[in-house]
Amino acid sequence: MGDTGARADWLDVARAMAIVLVALFHSALLLMQEHLTSPVWATINSAFVTFRMPLFFLASGLLAGSAIRRSWGGLWNTRLALLVWVLAIWSIIRFLFFTAVPLDSRLYESDPRGLLLAFVLPSTGLWFLHALAVFLVVAKLAQPLPVWIQLTTAAVLSVLFFSVLHLDSLSWDGMGKYLIFFLAGLYGRSALTRFTAQPRPAIGILAVLAFGVAGLSVELLDLASVPGVLLAVSCLAILVGVTWARILSDTRLVGPLRYLGRRTLPIYVMHVLVVAGLCAALGAADLDLGLGVTLALPVIVCAAAITVSLLVHSLAVRTPLVYLYRAPSFLLLPRVRAS
Sequential pLDDT tens for the chain (339 residues)? 544 334 589 999 999 999 999 999 999 999 999 999 999 999 999 989 999 999 999 999 999 999 999 999 999 999 999 999 999 999 999 999 999 998 888 888 888 998 999 999 998 999 999 999 999 999 999 999 999 999 999 999 999 999 999 998 999 999 999 999 999 999 999 999 999 999 999 999 999 999 999 999 999 999 999 999 999 999 999 999 999 999 999 999 999 999 999 999 999 999 999 999 999 999 888 888 888 899 999 999 999 999 999 999 999 999 999 999 999 999 999 876 444
Q: Read off φ and ψ for residue 110, nearest 5 degrees.
A: -105, 20
Q: What is the C-alpha separation between 9 and 253, in angstroms, rounded? A: 11
Which secondary structure element, helix H or strand E, spans residue 32, and what is its range?
A: helix 9-33
Which secondary structure element, helix H or strand E, spans residue 172, and what is its range?
A: helix 170-187
Helices and strands in the chain: count of H runs, count of E runs: 16, 0
Q: What is the C-alpha separation between 240 and 236, in angstroms, rounded? A: 6
**Contacts for 313-322 with beta carbons within 8 Å, 24 or more apart?**
313/263, 313/266, 313/270
Say what the pLDDT of residue 334 is.
Answer: 86
Identity of residue 57: F
Q: Which residues contact 263 (CB under 8 A, 6 or more apart)?
A: 2, 310, 313
132-152 burial by CB neighbour count: b if 16+ within 10 A, else e? bbbbbbebbebeeeeeeebbe
208-236 burial by CB neighbour count: b if 16+ within 10 A, else e? beebeebbeebeeeebeeeeebbbbbbbb
Q: Which residues contact 109 (CB under 8 A, 6 or more apart)?
A: 94, 95, 97, 98, 103, 124
CA 257 to chain centre: 16
